[in-house]
């Protein structure tokens, strides 16, 4: 079942989304090449969420067949694309680090992710980040009443392919707002004009994961971290958006 939100509910999701945005900014600020650990980034996000009276829907999240997720955020480095568990790993100059933050504030959920550079990165890593961010924006652009879910995925996939990179297919975006994961699923690939009809009042997390090499993935021994199978770099950008009569509105930014 797809839950449509009223403008009042969308405003509440935006409040949660603002906290997510602030937490992501704090994580980026906490990056000191050769010094900060992934746990330091986690701690920066925890400080922001806690200060706003929010909690993390990731902590203790337990899909079947998984151990409960042990942290507030996901911090994934280089070939890790998502669900990296923060810990003692030190971020090194030239790394890229994908930070994923969910927020539960007064019953409403926001979800956003961003890949940051650690110090100075290669031109190829820079291009991967730029293409993934642009792919997200191309997908968001399609999130308007009358379009279909396949229009979002196909816009993302087409743009990524043209750049010579590949889209991960096993993990997808999702409805979000009254729960962390709602219907519909939002794949980062698809055919135009197919899938669920998009309507005013839908709130979606759109989140392309893009690999510099092949699209295949593997799960690391911790049971959570997902990495590229071929060891190539991966980037991840995600926004929570609302579909309105005026088109898509991003809810996980500062305004």
Examine residue 182 and tell whether it contacts Co ion (CB under 5 A): no
CA pair distance 210, 227, nearest whole angstrom: 11
Q: How far is the CB of 130 from ligand MF3 (least distance, A)?
A: 21
CA pair distance 203, 250, nearest whole angstrom: 10
74, interface contact from Co ion, ligand MF3, none, CB < 5-8 Å by kind: ligand MF3
Using an 8 Å Cβ cutoff, are 132 and 208 in contact?
yes
Q: How far is the CB of 206 from Co ion (least distance, A)?
A: 9
Q: Which of residues 121-160 bind ligand MF3 (CB under 6 A)?
A: none
Starting at the earlier edge strand, list the strands of the sheet with 234-236. Answer: 166-167, 209-211, 234-236
Return the residue of 77, 97, 205, 227 that touches Co ion, per CB under 5 A.
Answer: 205
Examine residue 58 and tell whether it contacts ligand MF3 (CB under 6 A): yes
58, interface contact from ligand MF3, Co ion, none, CB < 5-8 Å by kind: ligand MF3
Return the residue of 25, 43, 61, 90 that touches ligand MF3, per CB under 6 A.
Answer: 61
Given the structure tokens 């991967």, which residue do they identify?
A: 128
CA pair distance 250, 243, nearest whole angstrom: 9
Instruction: Give the H/E segment covering residue 150.
Output: helix 149-162
Q: How far is the CB of 172 from Co ion (least distance, A)?
A: 9
CA 204, 209, 213: angle at the middle one, nearest 5? 160
In a 13 Å sphere around the CA of 107, the CA atoms on its Cβ side amount to 5
Examine residue 179 and tell whether it contacts ligand MF3 (CB under 6 A): no
Question: Which residue, 70 or 145, has its beta carbon nearer to ligand MF3?
Answer: 70
Cβ neighbours for 228, distance < 8 A, ≥ 6 positions apart:
79, 81, 211, 212, 213, 214, 216, 217, 218, 234
Q: How far is the CB of 60 from ligand MF3 (least distance, A)?
A: 9
Question: Which residue, 20 or 31, has its beta carbon nearer to ligand MF3?
Answer: 20
CA pair distance 58, 56, nearest whole angstrom: 5
Q: Using CB under 6 A as the criterion, what x/- string covers residues 188-227 for binding ligand MF3?
A: -----------------x----------------------
Question: Which residue, 43 or 127, has its beta carbon nearer to ligand MF3?
Answer: 43
Q: Which residues bind Co ion (CB under 5 A)?
A: 111, 205
Q: Which residues bind ligand MF3 (CB under 6 A)?
A: 58, 61, 69, 74, 83, 100, 102, 111, 113, 205, 238
């Amino acid at each position: 079942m797809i839950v449509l939100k009223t403008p009042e509910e969308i405003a509440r999701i935006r409040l949660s989304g603002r906290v997510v945005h602030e937490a992501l900014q704090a994580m980026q600020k906490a990056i000191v090449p050769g010094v900060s650990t992934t746990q330091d980034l986690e701690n920066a996000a925890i400080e922001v969420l806690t200060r706003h009276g929010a909690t993390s829907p990731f902590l203790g999240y337990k899909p079947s067949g998984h151990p409960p997720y042990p942290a507030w955020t996901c911090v994934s480095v280089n070939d890790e694309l998502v669900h990296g568990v923060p810990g003692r790993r030190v971020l090194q100059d030239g790394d890229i680090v994908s930070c994923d933050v969910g927020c539960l504030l007064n019953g409403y959920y926001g979800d956003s992710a961003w890949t940051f550079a650690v110090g100075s990165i290669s031109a190829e890593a820079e291009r991967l980040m730029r293409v993934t961010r642009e792919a997200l924006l191309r997908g968001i652009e399609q999130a308007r009443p009358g379009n279909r879910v396949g229009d979002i995925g196909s816009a993302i996939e087409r743009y990524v392919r043209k750049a010579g990179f590949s889209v991960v297919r096993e993990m997808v975006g999702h409805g979000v707002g009254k729960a962390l994961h709602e219907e519909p699923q939002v794949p980062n690939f698809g055919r135009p004009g197919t899938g669920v009809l998009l309507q005013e009042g839908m709130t979606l997390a759109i989140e392309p994961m893009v690999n510099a090499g092949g699209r295949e993935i593997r799960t690391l021994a911790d049971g959570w971290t997902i990495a590229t199978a071929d060891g190539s770099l991966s980037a991840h950008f995600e926004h929570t958006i609302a579909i309105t009569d005026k088109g898509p509105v991003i809810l996980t930014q500062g305004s």
